[in-house]
Amino acid sequence: MSAAATTPTTPETGDLLYSDVEEDLRASVRALVEKQAPWDAVLRRTDTEDPVDTELWKRLTQEIGVAGLAVPEERGGAGASWREVAVVAEELGRAVAPVPFLGSVVATALLLGTGEDELLAAVAAGERTAALAVGATRGAGRPVPVTVERQGAGDLLQGTVTAVIDAVTADVLLVPVEGGVAVVEADGDGVTRTTVESLDMTRRLTDVTFDGAPARIVTGGDVAGADVDGALRIGAAILASEQLGLAERCLADTVSYLRTRHQFGRQLASYQALKHRLADLWVAITQARATARYAARCAADGSPDLPVATAVAAAHGAEVALLAAEDGLQLHGGIGFTWEHPAHLFLKRARADALVLGSADHHRTVLAELVDLPA
């Protein structure tokens, strides 16, 4: 038998298991988040005028380096990959942590395709925060409402972008415009940020208005459009991992509750009907983990299968997270419907995430086009 015949082949999906490095990263993030932002602290923050835990974000970026994981070392980052970023997203989703991680991921993905190495390094180090000024529900391929006016030697922006993710605390806004992407100082002249009411109180949305805001165009032409769509696609892939972490937390909390509560002299977890529901949810979460891990792996490897992998992960992950949050709330009984229990935080995040960066229906439509299925 030839050596080639005895050599095992690597599946096309690659290794989707978590590495030791990824598990160590998970442990570090979880320990910090559980200490700094337990669910009761997250709940208290929703009643304040300071919706973002800037201290937690500072520690995550400076002590663990979560903002620079996907940035090469020669450009000021940690030199890891989007796989490690996905692990962080799982943990932050598990805790519904009120930090601007998703906005940072999308902005970083865009900056990686530009020559803005100084800004990229500052974002990777946690010295500055950046957000991509597109609507929260926008998927790839959709237009933006901001125009550029040429005035002397400078460029001025006009227009309004509604419901921008993580813009409330951003230092820099990356604004897609016709012919390029503009860098704008968020606190600069001509920029107005208005926080809007949103279902998810742990991730506030912001309307951003540009009225003659000075801007610097950093890239232009068709390449800019591809960069923006690519950044949104990376964001959707990482969001699927956030939804996975949230779903896993909901299942774990529900199983723990049913094991401790009794009704009619029996442990609730012993009822066959409840076992079936939890088993079905476990299977769905296992499938969501596979799709999210594959999307993260494709992002890390620059695989041409990334658009398909992201569409599958985003469509499935959104529905599984929502199912886990809804089942968790219901199976907790009366306590699950109270403000003093975290179930509503998970449900609101899951419901909001189901619309962020494209709904499940949007991603299924994208998937149909990618695999050439008729409408």
User: pLDDT digit string (tens) for 319-362?
Assistant: 999 999 999 999 998 888 888 899 999 999 999 999 999 999 99
**pLDDT of 87 above 90:** yes
The alpha carbons of the chain give a radius of gyration, in whole angstroms, of 21
| Structure tokens that stand for 365 in this block | 């439509």
In a domain, 252, yes or no: yes
Least confidently predicted of 61-65, 294-298, 327-331, 370-374: 370-374
* Residues 78 and 113 reside in one and the same domain: yes
Instruction: Report the distance separating Cα 145 and Cα 260, nearest Å.
Output: 53
**Which of 220, 251, 285 lies at the terminal end of a domain, its last residue?**
220
Q: Say which CATH number the domain at 191 has.
A: 2.40.110.10
Among 242, 253, 270, smallest CA distance to 329 is for 253
Give phi and psi for 262, each to the nearest 5: -125, 150
Return the higher-pLDDT residue of 63 and 3.
Answer: 63
Q: Please, which pLDDT band fits residue 153 given cuts at 50, 70 and 90?
A: low
The answer to whether 103 and 166 have CB atoms below 8 angstroms apart is yes
* Residues 67 and 53 reside in one and the same domain: yes
3-state secondary structure of 158: strand
Burial class (CB in 10 A: 0-12, 13-18, 19+), 290: middle
Which residues of 72-146 form beta strands (DSSP E)?
Answer: 130-132
Instruction: Report the distance separating Cα 143 and Cα 225, nearest Å.
Output: 10
* Residues 233 and 347 reside in one and the same domain: yes
Q: Say which CATH number the domain at 326 has.
A: 1.20.140.10
* Residues 232 and 330 reside in one and the same domain: yes
Domain that holds residue 207: 147-220
**Which of 67, 101, 129 lies at the terminal end of a domain, its last residue?**
129
Q: Please, which pLDDT band fits residue 17 given cuts at 50, 70 and 90?
A: very high
**Which of 94, 129, 164 lies at the terminal end of a domain, its last residue?**
129
* Residues 122 and 39 reside in one and the same domain: yes
* Residues 290 and 364 reside in one and the same domain: yes
* Residues 160 and 90 reside in one and the same domain: no
In a domain, 53, yes or no: yes
* Residues 353 and 258 reside in one and the same domain: yes
Provide the β-strand partners of residue 182.
Answer: 175, 217
* Residues 323 and 352 reside in one and the same domain: yes
* Residues 235 and 189 reside in one and the same domain: no
**pLDDT of 107 above 90:** yes
Q: Provide the domain count of the chain.
A: 3
Instruction: Report the distance separating Cα 252 and Cα 71, nearest Å.
Output: 33
